Structure 1
Amino acid sequence: MALSTEQQMLVEQRLANDKKSTLVAYLLWFFFGGLGAHRFYLGRTGSAIAMLALAVVGVLTFAIIIGIPLLIAVGIWALVDAFLIPGMIEQLTREARAQITAEISATSGGV
């Protein structure tokens, strides 16, 4: 069922309040990208933990040469993420819009 104009405005207002900031995501990426901070912020906890674990193990094993490839992998992953951040935010926005729309439709009885 289609939402009324007032309901659509409510959806967009709630979405604007809840939307993740691209600037914050890039600042986290720039300063703490190797630790996966931007992924934690964007709700990708599993891959953020993996990135953090690789970085920590890489630093701890750097002296015995094992850590070098791990740190290179984390660096490449962080570099690729610089291009993926806008898409991640867009996906979060689409999911939030669908969820808010469903909530408003359910509370208004589908009208």
Structure 2
Amino acid sequence: MSLDAHERLIIETRVGNDGPSVMLAYFLWFFVGILSAHRFYLGKPVSAILQILSYVILVGFIWLLVDAFLIPGMVRAKQEKIRRDLTLDAISNGRSLPAMQMA
């Protein structure tokens, strides 16, 4: 069972509105990366806490630099999870996606 174009458009709009922002993730990484704020923002609290704890042995600083390259992939993964959840919800609820409210 697949969704029609209108339903896919609604889902993509919701992903764009509800999903994380690459720019905000980089902003958090740059200004409060020492607190792993970008990982908390992207829904990765366990690795955020591990990263904070690893600063004690200097590994965390290297990990923080590696995150600069991992942020786009983490954002895409979070967006894909939202997309998958919305698609499954739309299919299981008989294709009744809620109408988008324009702000």
What band does the TM-score fall into relative to the shorter chain?
0.7 to 0.9
Higher helix share: 1
- Greater gyration radius: 1
CA contact (8 A) 2:53 2:60 kept: no
In structure 1, distance between residues paired with 2:54 and 2:35: 9
What's the RMSD between the two structures over aligned residues?
A: 1.6
Deviation at 1:17, TM superposition (A): 1.2
- Residue type of the partner of 2:86? I
Deviation at 1:109, TM superposition (A): 5.7
Residue 99 (structure 2) aligns with: none
Matched, 1:36 2:36: yes
In structure 1, distance between residues paired with 2:95 and 2:12: 19
Q: Deviations over 1:12-70 (max 9, x none)?
A: 11111111011110011001112211100000000111122334xx3xxxxxxxxxxx2
Deviation at 1:84, TM superposition (A): 0.4
TM-score (norm 1): 0.79
Q: List structure 1 segments (4+ residues) > 6 angstroms apart after TM superposition.
A: none
Which runs of no fewer than 5 residues in structure 1 stay unpaired?
59-69
Percent identity reads: 41
In structure 1, distance between residues paired with 2:59 and 2:34: 10
Which runs of no fewer than 5 residues in structure 2 stay unpaired?
97-103
